[in-house]
């Protein structure tokens, strides 16, 4: 039955009842007014709201990185499993991915600026949820000195999110990819293969209501990765000789580091047994070799680092291999698994067909 | 007639003859190897090639801004006039737009990072041309201390370019939008309406072969805007009280500044006569009132600034109005034209239908 008093008011003011408010309805300044309060984190010296934000760089230098997530390439709004990612998930993922690059330099994040490209029909609630996810990740992952300096809003045919993040080094010099030396240990910090297993579940025809609690946790690792943000600066202070974040898969990223350093890595797969064990039940259910996820899966955003053999490793790092010299005149792979050449170069290339 | 020797070689090696090399053929690392040498500018302390670039911030602080250009929203690859923009044009425009934000804070650009989202069929030559355009703009516009620190490459359904740029302040404090005081002069630096007239030509059914030399120059102003990069720091040193870049049109941007400062601006349209004169012939040919372009046209990336009346204006600035107090209790517009309320609020909103 109609409720005459409220219906009349709605009709009088011509309020559409069931349609969500979209960014097209609200316009740019209205949208900014809604999301900026949700991006509150550590205050920048100035911003947002002017042409640029002003950020402190107490060391007289800073590191900077940029990363983009594109709908249907780097995430899906709804997945073959029927599960739908929220704006909060995408905001979290964008923050985590960018903060991880700063972590990998041995730095603490000092600022983030965000550029959002939105189809005009995007619900305003999605954008608010995105902003909440971004700022919650900054806070929960422990980037407590990271100011959100504002950004840019624009229209596009597909949803796309770019963030640039800056950071202050924990030590005088950043830890590069190119510093690994023969005789050192290869170590990782964080989970391996969880985000890839989560992706396999999201992409599986198995519907999300059938996921076990364990499987939902793997999917959460894909939706909201947790880069170990204290570990990058700690590794730098402990004397890590090379470091990078694990975004494209252990094999591919280790190969990049070994090649940048002019060395080879020999990884010990026995050291990955706990990572494989964690994925065992899901891999059996999906009939996928969990080694694919552990060696080839990206997006966990843990850290790969090398340390001198005598170094007491900082909390959370575990040894998974050794750095070897390349013999002069011998063509060989940059990565060995248990002393042997791996049969497939696993890892992610953005443009591979 | 066939030339048997070369044809045989091509066939022998199975070289496709007329197909351009695309980013999909080349892959991410191959593409990076091609474009990074083209992005050489002032060297960063470190980068590109690691997780982040290292940038000097001699003042112990820096400004940062981010902007995105999306295909078919912010630019077209080919226009109704038949003219096709080059990768060089898009690279130039991305650099100019971002450097302009740093200029508007009274700062010199110190670094740029770029994120490119590319459909897999994008020709590699386009991406190389983009990189050349970006670095040429950095050089030619005079951002000689701007290091290109690298970036991110990814795949998407539409072409999209995001750049984040950082800068060092020329004075102790940045020049904000909010510092204009009653009694001061309102001044601009750079052209007004040229990019909008260029856009109208590109969007016109008049084909590009019919453009006069003057019209081609207007189109060049849209394709490759020239923000006056020395003028921002000079204005800051001369004591500008408020400053912003003209990216969305004089009326709209002036309104933002006036509102941020809690004042009104009275603009003198007689001071815009040279801007109108420059556009006269084209406006007659396209039958568009040139005042629309001068007041409402964005993308020229000049500067809008206010100065105390006694200030000797830096080179390139010209007075176009006065700052007025808002009378308490009186609702009025933030912008007056020749003492009167303007009949239309012109300017660009990214989400307006």
Q: Residue B145 belongs to a domain with what CATH number?
A: 3.30.1330.10
CA-based nearest residue in chain B for residue A68: B115
Q: Which pair of tokens denotes residue B210?
A: 């019919």
Set of chain B residues whose Cβ sits within 8 Å of the Cβ of A67: 115, 152
Shared-domain flag, residues B126 and B233 = no
Domain contains B292: yes
- Looking at the structure of chain B, the number of domains it has is 2
Whether pLDDT at B30 is above 80: yes
Whether pLDDT at A143 is above 60: yes
Shared-domain flag, residues B162 and B200 = no
Whether pLDDT at B17 is above 70: no
pLDDT digits (tens, 9 = 90+) for B302-341: 999 999 999 999 999 999 999 999 877 777 778 999 998 8
Shared-domain flag, residues A204 and A119 = no
Tell which wins on pLDDT, A309 or B344: A309
Domain contains A351: no
Percent of chain B with pLDDT over 90: 75
Percent of chain A with pLDDT over 70: 91
Domain range for A284: 185-337
Sign of CA dihedral A264, A266, A271, A273: positive
Beta carbons of A194 and A246 less than 8 angstroms apart: no
Domain contains A346: no
Q: Where are the alpha helices (DSSP H) in chain A?
A: 4-12, 23-26, 28-35, 87-103, 124-140, 194-203, 213-223, 231-238, 250-261, 273-286, 290-296
Domain contains A352: no
Whether pLDDT at A11 is above 90: no
Q: Which pair of tokens denotes residue A66?
A: 């940029």
Among A182, A272, A190, A187, residue whose Cα is nearest residue A238: A187
Q: What is the pLDDT of residue B4?
A: 46
Give the lowest-confidence range in A126-130, A245-249, B119-123, B346-350. Answer: B346-350
Q: What is the pLDDT of residue A353?
A: 40
Shared-domain flag, residues B62 and B164 = yes
CA angle B101, B103, B105 (to 5 degrees): 75
Shared-domain flag, residues A154 and A230 = no
Answer whether A180 touches B (CB < 8 Å): no
Shared-domain flag, residues B262 and B328 = yes
- Among B169, B200, B228, the domain boundary falls at B169
Q: Do A120 and B351 make contact, defined as CB atoms within 8 angstroms?
A: yes
Shared-domain flag, residues A124 and A251 = no
CA-based nearest residue in chain A for residue B101: A51
Shared-domain flag, residues A132 and A61 = yes
Q: What is the pLDDT of residue B252?
A: 92
Q: What is the pLDDT of residue B2?
A: 44
Q: What is the pLDDT of residue A187?
A: 98
Shared-domain flag, residues A267 and A162 = no
Q: What is the pLDDT of residue A2?
A: 44
- The Cα A269–Cα A289 span in angstroms is 14
Whether pLDDT at A346 is above 70: no
pLDDT digits (tens, 9 = 90+) for A84-128: 999 999 999 999 999 999 999 999 999 999 999 999 999 999 999
- The Cα A336–Cα A352 span in angstroms is 23
Answer whether B314 touches A (CB < 8 Å): no
Shared-domain flag, residues A117 and A211 = no
Q: Is B289 annotated as a binding residue?
A: no
Q: Is B67 annotated as a binding residue?
A: yes
The CATH number that applies at residue A292 is 3.90.650.10
Answer whether B302 touches A (CB < 8 Å): no
Shared-domain flag, residues B124 and B199 = no
pLDDT digits (tens, 9 = 90+) for A304-318: 999 999 999 999 999
Q: What is the pLDDT of residue B179?
A: 95
Domain contains A163: yes
Return the C-alpha torsion angle A272, A274, A276, A281, nearest 10: 180
CB pairs under 8 A between A and B: 231
Domain contains A40: yes
Predicted confidence band of residue B88 (pLDDT cuts 50, 70, 90) = very high
Domain contains A3: no
Distance of CA A160 to the CA centre of its chain: 15
Shared-domain flag, residues A122 and A257 = no
CA separation, residue B117 to residues A89, B86, B126 (Å): 21, 16, 13
Q: Do B113 and A151 make contact, defined as CB atoms within 8 angstroms?
A: no
* pLDDT, chain B, mean: 90
CA separation, residue A145 to residues A42, A106, A109, B136, B165 (Å): 6, 15, 7, 35, 20
Domain contains B344: no
Whether pLDDT at B297 is above 70: yes
Whether pLDDT at A347 is above 70: no
H/E stretch holding A42: none
């Amino acid at each position: 039955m109609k409720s005459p008093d409220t219906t009349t008011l709605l009709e009088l003011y011509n309020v559409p009842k069931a349609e969500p408010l979209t960014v097209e309805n609200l316009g740019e300044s209205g949208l900014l007014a809604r999301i900026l309060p949700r991006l509150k984190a550590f205050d920048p010296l100035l911003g947002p709201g002017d042409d640029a934000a002003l950020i402190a760089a107490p060391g007289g230098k800073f590191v900077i990185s940029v990363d983009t997530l594109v709908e249907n390439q780097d995430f899906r709004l709804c997945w073959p499993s029927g599960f739908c990612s929220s704006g909060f998930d995408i905001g979290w993922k964008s923050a985590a991915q960018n903060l991880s690059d700063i972590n990998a330099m041995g730095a603490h994040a000092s600022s983030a600026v965000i550029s959002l490209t939105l189809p005009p029909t995007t619900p305003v609630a999605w954008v608010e949820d995105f902003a909440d996810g971004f700022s919650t990740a900054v806070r929960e992952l422990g980037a407590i000195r990271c100011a959100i300096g504002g950004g840019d809003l624009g229209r596009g045919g597909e949803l796309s999110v770019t963030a640039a993040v800056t950071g202050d080094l924990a030590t005088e010099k950043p830890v590069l990819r190119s510093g690994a030396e023969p005789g050192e240990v290869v170590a990782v910090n964080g989970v391996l293969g969880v985000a890839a297993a989560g992706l396999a579940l999201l992409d599986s025809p198995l519907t999300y209501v059938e996921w076990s609690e364990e499987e939902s946790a793997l999917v959460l690792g894909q939706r909201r990765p947790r880069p170990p943000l204290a570990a990058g600066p700690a590794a730098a202070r402990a004397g890590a000789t090379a470091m990078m974040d694990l975004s494209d898969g252990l094999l591919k990223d280790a190969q990049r580091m070994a090649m940048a350093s002019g060395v080879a890595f020999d990884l010990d797969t026995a050291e990955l047994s706990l990572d494989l064990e964690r994925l065992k039940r899901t891999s059996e259910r999906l009939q996928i070799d969990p080694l694919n996820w552990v060696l080839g899966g990206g997006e966990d955003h843990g850290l790969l680092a090398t340390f001198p053999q005598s170094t007491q490793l900082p909390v959370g790092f575990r040894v998974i291999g050794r750095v070897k010299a390349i013999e002069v005149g011998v063509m060989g792979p940059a990565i060995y698994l248990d002393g042997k050449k791996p049969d497939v170069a696993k890892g992610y290339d953005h443009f591979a067909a």
